[in-house]
Amino acid sequence: MTDYGMIFTIGFLSSFGHCIGMCGGFVTAYTMKLNADTGSDRGGFFKKISPHLFYNTGRIATYIFLGALFGLVGETLHLIAGMSHYQGILQAVAGVFMILIALDMGGWIPATWTSNFPGYRHFKKIVGGLFSRVHKGNILGLGLAMGFLPCGLVYAAGAKAASTGSVVGGMLTMLFFGLGTFPALLAVGLSANAISANFRGKIFKFATVLVILFGIITTYKGIHNFSINHAAAQTNTTVEHVH
């Protein structure tokens, strides 16, 4: 449960910098369009908040779906490898991956493949089409689509999801990550000027460091688990040879 709490905290803190900076414009755009088309800027609180609840529900649903895929990949590789210490290898690789992504997000290493992710331009075209005809009835679909937005944070959470080695573990990892990002994007939808850009930047830098620390911890756990399981496997092999 500690890992889920950590991934929620990473999602929460980083969302006030990274998510607002990357997705805040989308949220503001659909909010303004809904307000212009339906006058949803007036009326009760539920009328104002409901589009954002649907949008974020769709986004988190996509994260859970991706978590299932990441977890399935980890589980499949585990079965193919057929060795108990595989989990440690995947954890270590996932940890290193998280560290590299965090360094990229923080601007501490040159951006490489994240800005040129395959299919990104095609995805932007699809999303642009959704935005051009967005309304209260399809805001959930917009959230589902935006959940696939290529994002360094999602990659980092996905690496952690894969390292669980199970579909359920991957889904829960991405669920807690998505729930962590929920408050910031909800705040953007309700009030785009609620948090200053300077404060968001400071929170994001802290969250980036947190991702690096979590990556280091994940890497350490992976190496530790690998060492223990590998030693146990060697012991069992020696015992079998003796018998």
* The three-state (H, E, C) secondary structure of 72-140, written as one string: HHHHHHHHHHCCCCHHHHHHHHHHHHHHHHHHHHCCCCCCCCHHHCCCHHHHHHHHHHHHHCCCCCCHH
Contact, 219 vs 92, CB < 8 A? yes
Using CA atoms, how far residue 7 sits from 97, 145, 154, 209, in Å, is 15, 22, 11, 13
Neighbouring residues of 84: CB distance < 8 A, sequence distance ≥ 6: 229, 232, 233
What amino acid is encoded at 212 in this protein? I
Which backbone phi and psi does 45 adopt, to 5 degrees? Answer: -65, -40
Its pTM surpasses 0.85? no
Checking if the pLDDT of 11 tops 90, the result is no
**pLDDT(240) > 80:** no
DSSP string, 153-173: HHHHHHHHHHHT-SHHHHHHH
Dihedrals phi, psi of 133, to nearest 5 degrees = -130, 30
First to last CA, the chain: 41
Picking from 71, 24, 80, the residue whose alpha carbon sits closest to that of residue 52 is 24
**Given this model, what pLDDT does residue 179 score?**
95
User: How many CB atoms lie under 10 A from the CB of residue 150?
Assistant: 17
- How far apart CA 19 and CA 12 sit, in angstroms, is 10
pLDDT higher for 201 or 189? 189
Euclidean distance between CA atoms 218 and 211, whole angstroms: 10
* pLDDT tens figures, 44-87: 677 778 888 999 999 999 999 999 999 998 888 777 655 555 66
Query: Do residues 179 and 60 lie in contact, with contact meaning Cβ atoms separated by under 8 Å?
Result: yes
Averaged pLDDT for residues 160-175: 91
Pick 186 or 121 by higher pLDDT.
186
For residue 180, give the nearest of 59, 90, 73 by alpha carbon.
59
Establish how many alpha carbons lie within 13 A of residue 186's alpha carbon, considering only the half-sphere containing its beta carbon.
17
Higher-confidence residue of 73 and 152: namely 73
